Amino acid sequence: MELKHFIEFRQMLHRFPDISGKEAATRELVRAFVEPFNPAEIHEIGTTGLLLVFEGGSPGRQMLIRAELDALPIQETNTFEYRSTYPGKAHKCGHDGHMAILSRLAWLLHKKPLMAGKACLLFQPAEENGEGARAILSDPAFKTIIGNQGLDQVLALHNIPGYARGNILIRRGNFTPAVRSIIVQYKGKTSHAAEPEHGICSAPAIAAFLQEALAMAVPDPGTQDFFLVSPVYMHMGEKSYGVTAGDGEIHLTIRSWENKLLDKRAKALEVLAESVGAKFGLHSQIGWTERFEANENNDEVVHQIETAAAALGLKVEYLPHPMKWGEDFGLFTRQFKGAMFGIGAGENHPALHNPDYDFADALIEPASNLFEKVLRDYLNKED
């Protein structure tokens, strides 16, 4: 197949985006495209995911390579012919491109079968909300597929705007941070706005909690104890100007380079929320959502990426600190030896999650070639 067929496939996926947990239609589009490449096995997995298995002529190591299926609830502002046909939904993180990359890898493995071992190509759902990797890893079918041997290595990439197009972006240590979001609800009591002393208003508690939480932040990404606190949502009361606000709610997203540090800071926020609520006479209810583990790169796998990139003539760029966005592939690297790397989308390319973003099709070929090189070198390596 020519490269144009994979570009056309990517652009077709862009027209018909599905958001996290609703990717059944996208999965079927992928299945129809990759079935002619004759994988040894095709499995539905993690509810809306798809996993292809390619086997070599003899037993050996097992490597999993992942792409994502989901789009975002963002209204696209682009006007090109293949723009999203679904209002309020669009591929604004490039997962359509990642699917095309993995599909081309499937074609490369069909064109030249593996000599030994097993390649598992995973089209994973629900990366954007942090639920997809967890769904895959907890699916009994996944455990059956990888067998008692388990996976020897796992690998994933992400396109990254702001860096020279086609540069391979790697680092030892963590590639992405630990991230999660806290939901604090305060239960108070309304009153007439002229008589606030007869109510229990949540506003002072929300203000105090927010100020003290922000004061905990260490926003310098160059420090090991980096800890970012981002307010994302607040609500209290109603547009009823004669009534004080009783109940209130605030959401913060927090992130740090290390899982253990984030655990410690998360506990501190819980204690803070409770103490602030008690101080103002409010009942506190605390919850967490959208949890992402830090993506811990293994040095050996990073070296394999470096070596393969050099062999293909791809420029390698070393990141001074992890990317600041969360990635649920961290659940895979906590369980298996693996790594995530980036590929530059262009220094002036629109940013991820922006309404004018679009995946750079020029990345499909070099990225799939790099995946293939790392995979074959590893599976063919002699002990």
For residue 151, what are its two tokens? 């996976």
Domains of the chain: 3-175+294-379 (3.40.630.10), 178-292 (3.30.70.360)
Band of pLDDT at residue 383, cut at 50, 70 and 90: low
Beta pairing, strands 295-297 & 173-176: antiparallel
pLDDT of 381 reads: 84
pLDDT digits (tens, 9 = 90+) for 2-21: 999 999 999 999 999 999 99
Average pLDDT, the chain: 97
Q: How far apart are alpha carbons 236 and 249 in whole angstroms?
A: 6
Q: What is the DSSP letter of 37?
A: G
Q: Is pLDDT at 382 greater than 80 in this prediction?
A: no
Q: Please name every residue paired with 42 in a beta bridge, in sequence order, or none if there are none.
A: 52
Tens of pLDDT, residue by residue over 241-272, are 999 999 999 999 999 999 999 999 999 999 99
Average pLDDT over residues 119-140: 97
Q: Is the dihedral of CA 61, 375, 131, 180 positive or negative?
A: positive
For the chain, report the end-to-end CA distance as a whole number of angstroms. 34
173-187: pLDDT as tens digits: 999 999 999 999 999
pLDDT at residue 38 is higher than 80: yes
User: Rounded to an integer, what is the distance from CA 20 to the centroid of its chain?
Assistant: 11
Closest CA to 81 of 5, 30, 14, 29: 14
- Confirm if 70 and 95 have CB atoms less than 8 A apart: yes
pLDDT at 47 over 70: yes
Per-residue pLDDT band at 149 (split at 50, 70, 90): confident
Using alpha carbons, select from 242, 158, 244, 135 the residue that is nearest to residue 197. Answer: 244
DSSP 3-state assignment of 371?
A: helix
**pLDDT for position 1:** 86
Give me the percent of the chain exceeding a pLDDT of 70.
100
pLDDT tens readout for residues 340-362:
999 999 999 999 999 999 999 99
43-67 average pLDDT score: 97
pTM exceeding 0.85: yes
What is the arithmetic mean of pLDDT over 305-313? 98
Q: Is 58 helix (H, G, I), strand (E, B) or coil?
A: strand
Window from 59-68, 79-88, 255-264, 374-383 with minimum mean pLDDT: 374-383
